[in-house]
Amino acid sequence: MKYLRFDDGGLPRFGRLEGGVVTPLDDAPWAGGEDAGTPRPYEGLTLLPPVPPGGKILCIGRNYFAHAKELGNEVPVEPLVFLKPATSFLPHGGTVLLPPESERVDFEGELALVIGRRARRVGPEAYRDVVFGVTPALDITARDLQKKDGQWWRAKGFDTFCPCGPVVESGLDASDLSLRTILDGEVKQDGRTSRMIFDLPTLVSWVSQAMTLEPGDLLLTGTPEGVGPLAGGQRLELEIEGLPRLSVRVAREA
């Protein structure tokens, strides 16, 4: 089932997407939201990021062998975790802004997990209970600032640096999906989620040892090889098997 969030006359609402029609829900789908209100066409809706901004955006770095190697990094012996702020969210159809502080902003196409249940110090076997669904996400990265700053708060954290959506898909086995990042119609990344160093259940378990996972949290699971720079005027898309394509524009911040 596909779920999204949209702007309903200034109010954020969850909805269920089926056959081009969105049925509004009275709560988050992972909180048991039920049908509420008149169904409406998907086309023409003002979409919001598919999870609300109150949760965590957790990210895994260097989780594909070939990507770790392309940046000259060691393959990590345990998951490398960092956070992005909620102000980095960008909905499907939005515009990634390249900040003047950076001369090299890269795309990183990633599968993101949407947490559906509170979890603390769970094992990998809890994965199916804890994860509600998946959504495409882009971990936009100011590569020069990532190297310069040491801490990644800025390189990964500028406004618009976390496009995601358009929908969260529940009930999809995400262990071996194709993932393609497309820049101006050209395929730049072409990977499979089965090539992760740490698999999805391991990541959920690992992160939950340190901090409580809460419903609506997002966990970006790392990017395959093929990352590269963005330029103003480009169209950036992420296509994950079984999910609608995430599409955003790129512009220089004025």
Interface residues toward Mg ion, by CB under 5 A: 108, 139, 223
Cβ nearer to Mg ion, comparing 189 with 223 = 223
CB 139 → Mg ion: shortest distance, Å?
Answer: 3
Distance CA 40, CA 56 (A): 30
Cβ nearer to Mg ion, comparing 139 with 217 = 139
Cβ nearer to Mg ion, comparing 8 with 199 = 199
Distance CA 3, CA 30 (A): 10
CB 140 → Mg ion: shortest distance, Å?
Answer: 9
CB 156 → Mg ion: shortest distance, Å?
Answer: 8
Distance CA 116, CA 213 (A): 9
Cβ nearer to Mg ion, comparing 31 with 177 = 177
Kind of pairing between the strands at 218-220 and 109-115:
antiparallel
Distance CA 66, CA 55 (A): 30
Alpha helix segments (H runs only) across the chain? 65-70, 127-130, 143-149, 200-210
Q: Which residue lies nearest Mg ion, judged by its C-beta?
A: 139
